[in-house]
A and B are shown apart, each in its own frame.
Chain A
Amino acid sequence: MKDKIYLFPVFIRIWHAINAIVIILLIITGISIQYALEGIMSFKSAIEIHNIFGLILIFNYLFFIIGNLISSNGKHYSLIWKNFSKELMQQAKYYVIEMFKHKITPFPINESRKFNPLQKLAYTATMYVLIPLLIFTGLGLMFPEIVIIRSVFNLATLFIADLIHIGSAFFVSVFLIVHLYLCTLGIRKHNTFKSIINGWHYID
């Protein structure tokens, strides 16, 4: 009999499910728009779907932030800088070398530590840097008529917004791929994909 901990509260699971669908659709439509691909859908439909799901992302993000503020889930995203780089290296070393020697993870998951240091850095950067950047620049691109500061030092604000938007979107896409891959680690013992659905994380 394995021990299990209730790691993912209902609000996180709802948020995560919506976020997963929204992000995947935003990436597909975003690539269609950026590369003017009309294979799956027309440019206009891609823009419309991208805009609608962009707005859903905003509301879902607010839901996530409020949920984190009123629950204890927010603490998992607070970075403690002391020894952090050392811990990061430790975790990286585990992924690159130690796991192949069947060693135990240096930062096992428990109720007070949902993420290992690398996860913590990636999730915090994504949720508190990349997503807000995507939201702000996305709103600017969605409503170019009402962008208050149209130009800074004669540079096109929209253009810069687009650069930041595409750049952040690229890193979120990379995050998604790596996230999905790393969730397959240890899949034979405990299925992380199941955990995010039922909330329970099984401990070795």
Chain B
Amino acid sequence: MLYLKKVCCLALILLSDFNLIKMKKYLILLFTVIPLMYLYSQNDREKENRKINEKCFTCHGQSTYQFYNPEAARDVKYRMNPYRIIYSDRYYMSVHKSFKCTDCHSEDYDSFPHPSTLRFEIHYQCIDCHGGDETYAKFNFEKIEEEFLSSIHSTNHSDEFSCWMCHSPHYYSLSARKESNTKNIVAYSNSICLNCHSNIDNYQLISNERNSDLISKHDWLPNQQAHFNSVRCIDCHAEMNEDVLVAHKIKSKNDAVKNCIECHSQNSKLLESLYRYDIKERTSKYGFYNARILNETFIIGANRNYLLNILSVVMASGILLLILFHLFFRIIKKTK
């Protein structure tokens, strides 16, 4: 952001000194050199941070770490706690890739062994950085926070349940906004839920109970596997709010959608949730059908073709009329 502001300021200074003789030079500067400088400085900062991060990834980027033990007077090698491993390749594909570790973690991690007080380090939540930030206004983090706080996850578990229970700050990448294949969005989204709901170790981080068997819990659902592959858990288990792209207000299981026609109808609620990304297609009365064909998605009861509907009504009415005519003539002609 700082770089962008600098570029804008420089552009304004240049424009304020604007005259016809210098125009060409300034325009060249404005449209070529300055954007290049901005890009370079961005990449430069990222490169610099990568270099700094290398130090952390030397140990935390792999399954073992090594250091000199002065007591033993030799190098020793230990296994890294798997929960403390951050895979650098995945990190550098995430939305937070341009940051250095100590942007979010304490600078004290610079020393080794890390000071024991760092165990009490408070982690940032999404809203701590993104709240009120105009750059990310389209994500509406404030509303997400509000939804999350009224969700069953938050109300049942209070502060124990944080953003990081579902979203990894190290690996998080946009799915719904970037993916064009609905099935990939579904698989990505559901893997977040299953990470705890089908993994007892993760589940018991915040609960003393056993996680329930999702398959038997959903026995009532016809074509269970097809549903699991084609719809996100949150499409039935969360309340959609049009201000945010992905629902975060997870409801109690008793309030989950169980009525088939809420999705299996032309007015399918999925249009407002899972399929709201194809806004362009959704707005066209012919479009939904085409979008679904191309997107390998199918919902019984919702995929009605407008033109075929009209055609079938016209054909059926025509045939009924013919029959009525025929019957009429049979009666007046007294045909057997």
Contact = CB atoms under 8 A, between A and B. Distances in A.
Interface of A: 33-36, 38, 42-44, 47-48, 95, 99-100, 102, 141, 143-145, 150-151, 154-156, 158-160, 162-163, 166-167, 170, 173-174, 177-178, 181, 185-189
Given A43-B261, A159-B292, A163-B305, 20 more contacts: A33-B301, A36-B261, A36-B266, A36-B301, A44-B222, A47-B222, A99-B335, A100-B329, A144-B223, A145-B223, A155-B293, A155-B294, A159-B297, A159-B298, A167-B308, A177-B323, A178-B323, A181-B327, A186-B336, A189-B336
18 contacts: A33-B301, A34-B300, A36-B261, A44-B260, A47-B260, A99-B335, A100-B329, A141-B300, A151-B296, A156-B292, A156-B297, A158-B298, A160-B293, A167-B308, A173-B316, A174-B319, A188-B336, A189-B336
A178 B319 contact: yes
Contacts of A178: 319, 323
B304 interface: yes
A75 B320 CA distance: 31
B293 A43 contact: no
A159 to B, nearest CB: 5
Contacts of B215: none
A102 B334 CA distance: 9
B138 interface: no
Contacts of A34: 300-301, 304
Contact of B316 (A43, A47, A174, A188): A174
Q: Is the interface of A mostly helix, strand, loop or mixed?
A: helix
Contacts of A33: 264, 300-301
Given A102-B335, A170-B312, A189-B336, A181 B323 contact: yes
Contact of A43 (B301, B315, B327): B301
Contacts of B308: 163, 166-167
B293 A159 contact: yes
A27 to B, nearest CB: 12
Interface residues of B, number: 37
The 3 tightest CB contacts between A and B, nearest first, are A36-B265, A43-B260, A158-B298
B303 A159 contact: yes
B300 A38 contact: no
Contacts of A38: 261
Among A33, A34, A36, A162, chain B packs the most CB atoms within 10 A around the CB of A36
B221 to A, nearest CB: 10
Contacts of B226: 144-145
Nearest to B229: A145
B64 to A, nearest CB: 42
B322 to A, nearest CB: 9
Interface in B285-326: 292-298, 300-305, 308, 312, 315-316, 319-320, 323, 326
Contacts of B223: 143-145
Interface in B243-278: 259-261, 264-266
A170 to B, nearest CB: 5
Nearest to A50: B300
A103 B53 CA distance: 97
B24 interface: no
B330 interface: yes
Nearest to A144: B226
Nearest to B315: A174
B284 interface: no
Given A44-B260, A144-B223, A144-B226, A100 B330 contact: yes
Contacts of A162: 298, 300, 303
B225 interface: yes
A71 B261 CA distance: 46
A163 B293 CA distance: 11
B333 interface: yes
A185 B295 CA distance: 49
A108 B320 CA distance: 26
Contacts of B261: 36, 38, 43
A177 B320 contact: yes
Given A99-B335, A151-B296, A177 B319 contact: yes
B4 to A, nearest CB: 39
A38 B259 CA distance: 11
A146 to B, nearest CB: 9
Contact of B296 (A47, A154, A181, A185): A154
Residue of B226, B293, B301 contacting most chain A CB atoms (<10 Å): B301
A173 B316 CA distance: 9
Contact of B335 (A100, A141, A159): A100
Interface string B35-78: 00000000000000000000000000000000000000000000
Nearest to A34: B301
A183 to B, nearest CB: 12
B73 to A, nearest CB: 62
B97 to A, nearest CB: 31
Contacts of B266: 36
